[in-house]
Amino acid sequence: MTGCLETLNRAVRRLRGNQSGVGAVEFALIAPVLIMLYMGSLEVSVAMSVNKKLARSASTVADLVTQDSEVDKKFLESMVNVAQSVMTPFPADGVKMKITGISIDGSGVGKAMWSWKEDKSTPYAKNSIQTLPKDLAIPNTFLVRTEVEFDHKLLLFVPDLPNLDARTLKMKKTYHLRQRIDDQVECKDC
């Protein structure tokens, strides 16, 4: 029995002094955390780029609409293609858009004169009151508001977790611009 204990004691002392596999064990413990941090930072940077592109598409559409004194549904439908083009190189299928012409009366209350949505519906009833930022509610003026929404699907982060829809980020950008020609932008057939 004593010989067996001495052999076990020698083996334990040898293992305690042996450090040849410490680097591999440390790497095995730290590598998954570092890989997740790297993937997370990649996802965040891509999502920030998509968010910038979405803001740029909203401003571009508003800029194009305000360059005319009169628009129609066909012209507004083409704005979806414009928004998708601005979103390049990111896939932009499923971009949702609302474009609204808002007349602000003498008391600073904005009312929808016309509105259009990418599904060819009217999102806001004519003369419905529209909430505007305080600094844009200048009496007796006109605004064009563009609202662009997009659901960005994450590439790598949180794969296949049941009952968790953290793989889609819902993004929305709203942009207001004043008309450049005449007193307002009219929509012929909205």
Other C-beta atoms closer than 10 Å to the C-beta of 113 total 20
Q: Which residue has tokens 């950008």? A: 173
User: Distance between CA 56 and CA 82 in Å, rounded?
Assistant: 11
- List the single range of 15-19, 62-66, 131-135, 138-142 with lowest mean pLDDT: 15-19
Which pLDDT score, from 0 to 100, does residue 137 have?
Answer: 92
Look at residue 128 and tell me whether its pLDDT is greater than 70: yes
Percentage of the chain modeled with pLDDT above 90: 62
Q: What angle do CA 85, 65, 173 make, to 5 degrees?
A: 60
Residue written as token pair 């601005």:
86
- pLDDT 10s digits, 19-70: 777 788 888 999 999 998 898 898 889 999 999 999 999 999 999 999 999 9
Compute the average pLDDT of residues 116-142. 94
Q: Give CA–CA dist 107/139, Å, rounded.
A: 6
Cα separation, 76 vs 145, in Å, equals 13
Residue 168 pLDDT grade (very low, low, confident, very high; cuts 50, 70, 90)? confident
Look at residue 170 and give its three-state secondary structure.
strand
Asked if pLDDT for residue 162 goes beyond 80, the answer is no
Q: What is the DSSP letter of 102?
A: E
Q: Let me know how long the chain is.
A: 190
